Structure 1
């Protein structure tokens, strides 16, 4: 019998078992704190200045039901998944279905972002589908032309002027000042930024055009058991009064408030 060959195979098998056990152990929080990678501020979803926001508070509620204290770790969005894969955190928020999630266990959808077109009510602009935008001056968030579908991308090519800006507050100001006809951004981010620019009792009336499908986001885990427990706790929060309280606290738009 070749004992040397058998020993080599067994040693590799044992090493492989210990590798998977170690990954699972590292992915499981060792204390009541759970460190979660979160993208930088995008109020009203995430405000890193005071650890507040609809998305953060929702995650905080869910993890609390699991028995954990939620500890957000703020990083550029592009680094959050690599931090999870390198076991620097136990979870990551705002994971898109289109991201590279090999080796990651994804939760059920816990939040939706809703990109919309916003126009000044006084201009009485009618928009029913993305191609209707092609006759207007448009300002959008960065990468909008790449991720809002082919029909929108074609409309931006035909528009008199189309610009993508990293500063979304500037986008809102351009609309309110009449420098653009349409802005494209998440409906809740728009409402938050308009409230920063204008007094609450003097908000310029706008029309919200719901032209795009919502973006669904999940929480990523390395530990599958954690993922399963998160899903159960999420369901409990969604069925409780806590979710509605958060919606009112942050004045979040709901589907039935979107205008066509």
Structure 2
């Protein structure tokens, strides 16, 4: 069986986050608006506002000294919405050398898509075409 993988990257403006971390004399924690995918347990669980990826992102932004507010949208809408300038960061983006105006972080999560079936089905799966 062949496994296909996709690496998701946090895409954000380094200058924006850097300038937020330099705000001195303010009691309020800076807020970053972050676009993320839809309900996809165990990564995003919208019923409990939790999940492995959501908790990891919260921890990353907290370590940077900012509070993240998440907006959940379908994956196909992530980058078009980010390009409107309304949001500060977007997840699940492959690195593009053709978009030099964006800063891409190191990958923070690795997805590996696999196919599973019940043993009773006795399916012989070797490729996506199967």
How far apart, CA to CA, are the structure 1 residues paired with 2:108 and 2:68? 16
1:61 aligns with 2:53: no
Which 5+ residue runs of structure 1 have no aligned equivalent?
1-23, 126-131, 135-151, 160-260
Q: Deviations over 1:99-122 (max 9, x none)?
A: 686122111111011112323346
How far apart, CA to CA, are the structure 2 residues paired with 1:71 and 1:110? 18
Q: CA deviation at 1:61?
A: 0.8
Please give the secondary structure, in 2, of the residue aligned with 1:87: coil
Aligned residues of 1:32 and 1:68 also touching (Cα < 8 A): yes
Equivalent residue, structure 2, for 1:74: 72
Structure ranking higher on relative contact order (CA contacts 8 Å, 6+ apart): 2
Equivalent residue, structure 1, for 2:125: 133
How far apart, CA to CA, are the structure 1 residues paired with 2:76 and 2:115? 26
Aligned residues of 1:63 and 1:69 also touching (Cα < 8 A): yes
Please give the secondary structure, in 1, of the residue aligned with 2:61: helix
More helix by share: 1
Q: Deviations over 1:208-256 (max 9, x none)?
A: xxxxxxxxxxxxxxxxxxxxxxxxxxxxxxxxxxxxxxxxxxxxxxxxx
Q: 1:28 to 1:47 in 2, by over 3 A?
A: farther
Please give the secondary structure, in 1, of the residue aligned with 2:85: coil
Q: CA deviation at 1:25?
A: 5.6
Q: Which has the larger radius of gyration?
A: 1
The CA RMSD measured in Å over matched residues stands at 3.0
How far apart, CA to CA, are the structure 2 residues paired with 1:114 and 1:45? 13
Residue 115 (structure 1) aligned to one of 101, 113, 119: 113
